[in-house]
Structure 1
């Protein structure tokens, strides 16, 4: 690919995407009858849509029905989508994602009075195992999920194989005796009940799903789904923060990446108090040979590196090049409670953009937050739940976003994505790994981080210049 093709803006079809946000849906993009039926069921189940609204609706009726529009807007607001009140493609995409069966809007069946367990020693039992996994792997997944919560709050979980346990784990298909039948493969993965007598605290998993240890086998991670459902068993409702365990939609992450967000910790500690075990108090071991970054950005005269909820600041001044400071990110960015996924700066504006899940924050110097918004304002589809890395190239007025194996190019002046994107990283960035974790621009080079390596890239000549270990930037 020629270098000029990488940066020259192409005018044309993308304007249609912007128009669709403000005009009635094009007739060719009307939702299918089965999608309308899915949406009605989704809103009834998770957003308390009045049952009287049941029945097949045409697209015209959907737009003219205030109750339906109100519930669609409520759902769009929860997931950080544009609040159109219409059943657009982005909204349908989110509705079709695998998720928890507990409503996002509280109903009488869940959490009528925010109950919690009176005894902080809670018993559990596995009433029925899944044939998808070895019994010991099922037990290990549940133990790991329970430990996440007991590390954050003064809770103790004891396995009970014979008596009447507080929490019962079981796997079932379709109708299984609790008035909340499962829906087959995909859709709802599991559900749980509030603390209390009888079925209270119990967790049910849909046996029509494929359950795994969450490592390399295709399927859903039992550990990650159990960790979420246990939050409900302990009294928590859903979170709007995509980085939270209590976010309703399933996140495909390995167990090593899965941890409680600040929102999760605050929620469980509000119910049960603080644990004597400190969560994430130790700074990441920066000189570990397996060390990698979450994000990097140039703010003023300092390169800021992020890992988990920690940050390191290295000055660009030659005289003080070896000066390095480190701190918990909340010290400088108290308004940002989640770990940082990506960041980029626009020196001409004197601002940096910090991305956490589906949100972004505008920061003027450190400690100052001036604005927060949704990444979908950039034009990403609803299937993009977070950005892996970002870098602004002021010479072209473009910002490059890395998402999985793809990259997007955003025109800051026109405030829209360039047509023809996303494109594969490996197609246009020779020598760069398939996935980019962090990036920043310094002088005439873009520095990209993938795993344990840092790649110096000459964007004018479209070639990789140098490779070093990522933590070399931290003096290792």
Structure 2
């Protein structure tokens, strides 16, 4: 008994007396441990002469048989550092193509401007590469990557040169693929989608944190970078720090020189700042001076991360100014967003975002100019579940940073699953109402919150049956028609027209939806259970939404152009994603990142 009590104490004394390591044991991936040797900050070798330019052109795919092939074994030429190509047509052609891609004067000569472009900080992926001729992958292939295929870490990453053995392995792998040379030209997406499902998991690997930024700063920037791609595609990204590594789709890490078991060493500060592997690994050169938003010094880690994630998702380099997929790092304003070409390229691979929506409406604001003139402006809002988007009609896209949690931008109304919105707007009335279930809320636009009581002192929310006699609940949707001064309430296949002046359901209602809003081309009609309806001041028309489709109600302009069109008829359905772009979900873990943007002062 005494021994049983005494033994733990003895063990504890021995444990405390033993020497403790000053830091956790480092992980290594290469047998000689060279990847964990301390490396000092060093500069990349600049491109200064014909030999180093040939190496550069081969490394980034501009010479035949690239990357990493012929130039590595060439003897260093003597003589002129610039120009002087000795009539080599292949090299002149490679330089001319690089100049064209870099939007430089195309001379085919190695001039100062071309050398300057070669020495800019850039991504390690080739600008031109053979791509596999593959159509869209079916979503039923499996839980992660297409059939969970992943290239081992010892294989060649995207871009640049590697060890001879790695080149052989890459060559054998590529021999099994159907090759197609990708010439530089107009922005376009390769015919390859890297992932087969919509929810992708990512992780900043434990041994791959940067020495320059705090852990939380790094993870925050990566969350934001993934969110930016999620805002324009049906993909959502979730940070996963605890699942087995085999379940992680995209792994990120920092390193210097030989790093993270990668077969390709980083070159130091000044040129290649990151590279992306074929199936989900992204490495950042910790010799570079990465900075966080909104700093305008160094290299923006957010911009680089967005670029490399684009590669992992399947995008090549684009030669369009303003595109995040340009190979070279272009310093710009602290705020940046995905270019139109980036959005269209990624959507060509993964598709566009669709409906349905709970509510859509235009928010009207009346303002006076400094001269006392009254002007009216509006913004369009889409609600789904507990999120909302502001749609900028003049730019034909959602506001950067959306969606946002409904309670952050709309105070006092239900936090999710709103049924309908109605704005009664006449010369004498300006009233806004939200509906959910059997109740409704009136909204105070001046103070940006729901009223707590009505003019008689009765509390909100109130019963729909009391505030709008004869209207059933719950509703599918509703909208106010300024032409007729009627509110149209929808439930199932029925429509209830409510006269706001008489405060009652109009005579002969309810009616069938197909009779009140008949189809122009039968049977092209939603018939029942529509998701939302709203009048758009931007388009001067009323729209009905159901699922991924919309129907537009014939307006006065349509009838002037075609007198055979009847009043309130529905034109044939069209796809929501072809008219309203990028109304996309994001993973809930990123929804609070842009709370400061939740205002309604932009349109």
TM-score (norm 2): 0.39
Larger strand fraction of residues = 1
Whose Rg is larger?
2
